[in-house]
Amino acid sequence: MKTLFTLILLASMAWPQSVTLSGQRGYGSLVYWGTATDSSLKTLQLVDNHYWDSVGTWVRNDNRADSCSRPFKLGFGVGTYGVWKFEFERRVRSVDADSGTMVYRVETRYSKNTPGGANWGWRPKGKLVGYTDATILDSVIAPSPGVATKTTTANLFFVTGDEARLCPDALPGTANAATDSIFNDTLIVRVQ
Protein backbone atom coordinates (compact mmCIF):
# COMPACT_ATOMS: atom_id res chain seq x y z
CA MET A 1 0.00 0.00 0.00
CA LYS A 2 2.84 2.35 0.86
CA THR A 3 4.46 1.61 -2.51
CA LEU A 4 1.20 2.31 -4.35
CA PHE A 5 0.84 5.62 -2.54
CA THR A 6 4.44 6.53 -3.43
CA LEU A 7 3.87 5.67 -7.11
CA ILE A 8 0.69 7.80 -7.23
CA LEU A 9 2.54 10.69 -5.58
CA LEU A 10 5.42 10.46 -8.07
CA ALA A 11 3.01 10.23 -11.02
CA SER A 12 1.10 13.31 -9.84
CA MET A 13 4.33 15.29 -9.52
CA ALA A 14 5.32 14.38 -13.08
CA TRP A 15 1.89 15.31 -14.50
CA PRO A 16 1.83 18.94 -15.72
CA GLN A 17 -0.07 21.21 -13.38
CA SER A 18 -1.83 24.44 -14.32
CA VAL A 19 -3.48 27.16 -12.31
CA THR A 20 -6.38 29.10 -13.79
CA LEU A 21 -7.49 32.31 -12.17
CA SER A 22 -11.22 32.77 -12.24
CA GLY A 23 -12.17 34.60 -15.42
CA GLN A 24 -8.77 34.38 -17.08
CA ARG A 25 -8.18 31.95 -19.92
CA GLY A 26 -5.23 33.23 -21.92
CA TYR A 27 -7.28 34.06 -25.01
CA GLY A 28 -7.11 36.97 -27.39
CA SER A 29 -9.97 39.32 -28.22
CA LEU A 30 -9.91 41.07 -31.58
CA VAL A 31 -10.90 44.75 -31.46
CA TYR A 32 -13.48 45.67 -34.09
CA TRP A 33 -14.59 49.17 -35.08
CA GLY A 34 -17.94 50.14 -36.60
CA THR A 35 -21.32 48.51 -36.19
CA ALA A 36 -22.46 44.93 -35.67
CA THR A 37 -23.31 44.63 -39.37
CA ASP A 38 -20.38 46.66 -40.73
CA SER A 39 -17.21 46.24 -38.71
CA SER A 40 -13.50 46.28 -39.39
CA LEU A 41 -10.16 45.52 -37.74
CA LYS A 42 -8.53 48.43 -39.58
CA THR A 43 -8.21 52.04 -38.40
CA LEU A 44 -6.44 55.14 -39.64
CA GLN A 45 -5.23 58.29 -37.87
CA LEU A 46 -4.59 61.42 -39.91
CA VAL A 47 -4.57 65.13 -38.98
CA ASP A 48 -5.97 64.61 -35.45
CA ASN A 49 -8.82 62.44 -36.79
CA HIS A 50 -9.61 58.76 -36.24
CA TYR A 51 -11.20 56.62 -38.98
CA TRP A 52 -12.28 53.02 -39.40
CA ASP A 53 -12.53 51.05 -42.63
CA SER A 54 -16.11 50.57 -43.82
CA VAL A 55 -15.90 48.27 -46.84
CA GLY A 56 -12.89 50.09 -48.27
CA THR A 57 -14.09 53.60 -47.34
CA TRP A 58 -12.55 55.45 -44.39
CA VAL A 59 -15.32 56.67 -42.05
CA ARG A 60 -14.44 59.25 -39.42
CA ASN A 61 -15.60 58.17 -35.99
CA ASP A 62 -13.94 60.56 -33.54
CA ASN A 63 -16.61 63.20 -34.21
CA ARG A 64 -19.46 60.93 -33.09
CA ALA A 65 -20.93 60.78 -29.59
CA ASP A 66 -19.71 57.18 -29.37
CA SER A 67 -16.36 56.89 -31.08
CA CYS A 68 -15.26 53.76 -29.24
CA SER A 69 -14.58 50.30 -30.61
CA ARG A 70 -17.10 47.50 -30.35
CA PRO A 71 -17.04 45.73 -26.96
CA PHE A 72 -14.65 42.85 -26.38
CA LYS A 73 -14.63 40.32 -23.54
CA LEU A 74 -12.25 40.65 -20.63
CA GLY A 75 -13.11 37.34 -18.99
CA PHE A 76 -15.48 34.39 -18.98
CA GLY A 77 -16.80 32.40 -16.03
CA VAL A 78 -15.96 35.13 -13.60
CA GLY A 79 -16.12 34.29 -9.93
CA THR A 80 -13.78 36.86 -8.40
CA TYR A 81 -12.87 40.18 -9.98
CA GLY A 82 -9.23 41.07 -9.74
CA VAL A 83 -7.28 43.82 -11.42
CA TRP A 84 -6.17 42.02 -14.55
CA LYS A 85 -3.16 42.70 -16.72
CA PHE A 86 -3.79 42.89 -20.46
CA GLU A 87 -1.56 43.23 -23.48
CA PHE A 88 -2.68 45.49 -26.32
CA GLU A 89 -1.04 44.49 -29.61
CA ARG A 90 -1.44 46.04 -33.03
CA ARG A 91 -0.04 45.73 -36.51
CA VAL A 92 0.84 49.27 -37.50
CA ARG A 93 2.51 51.26 -40.25
CA SER A 94 3.61 54.83 -39.51
CA VAL A 95 6.37 56.67 -41.33
CA ASP A 96 6.08 59.85 -39.25
CA ALA A 97 7.89 58.92 -36.04
CA ASP A 98 7.35 62.35 -34.46
CA SER A 99 3.56 62.30 -34.53
CA GLY A 100 2.63 58.66 -34.47
CA THR A 101 1.74 58.10 -30.82
CA MET A 102 -1.87 57.18 -30.07
CA VAL A 103 -3.62 57.05 -26.70
CA TYR A 104 -6.72 54.92 -26.17
CA ARG A 105 -8.92 55.12 -23.09
CA VAL A 106 -10.23 51.76 -21.94
CA GLU A 107 -13.89 51.92 -20.88
CA THR A 108 -15.17 48.89 -18.96
CA ARG A 109 -18.48 47.51 -17.76
CA TYR A 110 -19.90 44.54 -15.86
CA SER A 111 -22.61 42.17 -17.00
CA LYS A 112 -25.73 41.90 -14.85
CA ASN A 113 -26.46 38.34 -13.80
CA THR A 114 -29.91 38.41 -15.36
CA PRO A 115 -31.59 36.03 -17.81
CA GLY A 116 -31.61 38.69 -20.53
CA GLY A 117 -27.86 39.17 -20.32
CA ALA A 118 -28.11 42.91 -19.73
CA ASN A 119 -25.04 44.99 -18.97
CA TRP A 120 -24.32 47.83 -16.60
CA GLY A 121 -23.39 51.13 -18.22
CA TRP A 122 -19.94 52.03 -19.47
CA ARG A 123 -17.63 53.78 -17.04
CA PRO A 124 -16.68 57.14 -18.54
CA LYS A 125 -13.13 57.42 -19.80
CA GLY A 126 -10.69 58.60 -17.18
CA LYS A 127 -13.01 57.53 -14.32
CA LEU A 128 -11.54 54.09 -13.55
CA VAL A 129 -8.87 55.12 -11.08
CA GLY A 130 -6.67 53.18 -8.71
CA TYR A 131 -5.89 53.41 -5.03
CA THR A 132 -2.71 53.06 -3.01
CA ASP A 133 -2.58 49.26 -3.05
CA ALA A 134 -3.57 48.62 -6.67
CA THR A 135 -2.81 50.16 -10.02
CA ILE A 136 -5.74 50.49 -12.39
CA LEU A 137 -4.72 52.12 -15.64
CA ASP A 138 -7.64 52.80 -17.94
CA SER A 139 -5.56 54.08 -20.83
CA VAL A 140 -3.01 52.53 -23.15
CA ILE A 141 -0.35 54.37 -25.15
CA ALA A 142 0.39 53.02 -28.62
CA PRO A 143 3.70 54.50 -29.80
CA SER A 144 4.67 55.11 -33.39
CA PRO A 145 7.08 52.53 -34.77
CA GLY A 146 8.27 54.97 -37.45
CA VAL A 147 8.37 52.40 -40.24
CA ALA A 148 6.97 52.24 -43.78
CA THR A 149 5.94 48.57 -43.56
CA LYS A 150 3.63 46.95 -41.02
CA THR A 151 5.24 45.96 -37.76
CA THR A 152 3.92 44.81 -34.39
CA THR A 153 3.87 46.92 -31.23
CA ALA A 154 2.56 45.94 -27.81
CA ASN A 155 1.60 47.76 -24.62
CA LEU A 156 0.15 46.83 -21.22
CA PHE A 157 -2.85 48.10 -19.27
CA PHE A 158 -4.65 47.02 -16.10
CA VAL A 159 -8.45 47.02 -15.69
CA THR A 160 -11.25 44.98 -14.20
CA GLY A 161 -14.72 44.08 -15.49
CA ASP A 162 -16.54 41.77 -17.91
CA GLU A 163 -16.23 43.79 -21.13
CA ALA A 164 -14.15 46.69 -22.41
CA ARG A 165 -13.85 48.95 -25.42
CA LEU A 166 -11.12 51.24 -26.72
CA CYS A 167 -11.85 54.94 -27.23
CA PRO A 168 -9.53 57.31 -29.13
CA ASP A 169 -8.31 59.85 -26.61
CA ALA A 170 -5.22 61.77 -27.63
CA LEU A 171 -5.09 61.73 -31.41
CA PRO A 172 -1.70 62.26 -33.01
CA GLY A 173 -1.09 65.55 -34.75
CA THR A 174 0.13 64.22 -38.08
CA ALA A 175 0.76 66.35 -41.11
CA ASN A 176 -1.90 66.62 -43.82
CA ALA A 177 -0.23 64.28 -46.31
CA ALA A 178 -1.32 60.71 -46.89
CA THR A 179 2.26 59.59 -46.22
CA ASP A 180 1.88 60.83 -42.62
CA SER A 181 -1.07 58.54 -41.96
CA ILE A 182 -0.92 55.93 -39.22
CA PHE A 183 -2.51 52.65 -40.32
CA ASN A 184 -3.55 50.08 -37.70
CA ASP A 185 -4.50 46.57 -38.66
CA THR A 186 -5.70 43.81 -36.36
CA LEU A 187 -5.74 45.18 -32.84
CA ILE A 188 -5.88 42.35 -30.31
CA VAL A 189 -6.12 42.30 -26.52
CA ARG A 190 -4.75 39.35 -24.53
CA VAL A 191 -4.99 38.46 -20.86
CA GLN A 192 -1.51 38.22 -19.35
Domains identified in the chain and CATH numbers? 20-191 (2.60.120)
Comparing CA positions, the residue from 187, 168, 185 lying closest to residue 72 is 187
pLDDT, one tens digit for every residue, the chain (192 residues) = 667 556 555 555 555 555 444 544 556 788 899 888 888 888 888 877 888 888 888 888 887 767 888 988 876 555 556 667 788 888 888 776 666 677 888 888 877 766 666 777 888 777 766 665 566 677 788 777 777 778 888 888 877 778 888 888 777 666 666 667 788 888 888 777
The confidence score (pLDDT) of residue 102 equals 77
pLDDT score, position 103: 81
Residue 53 CB-density burial (10 A; 0-12 exposed, 13-18 middle, 19+ buried): buried
Residue 182 is predicted with a pLDDT of 82
Nearest to 91 by CA among 26, 30, 12: 30
Reported pTM: 0.73
Say what the pLDDT of residue 4 is: 58
- pLDDT score, position 78: 52
| Distance of alpha carbon 111 from alpha carbon 50, whole angstroms | 29
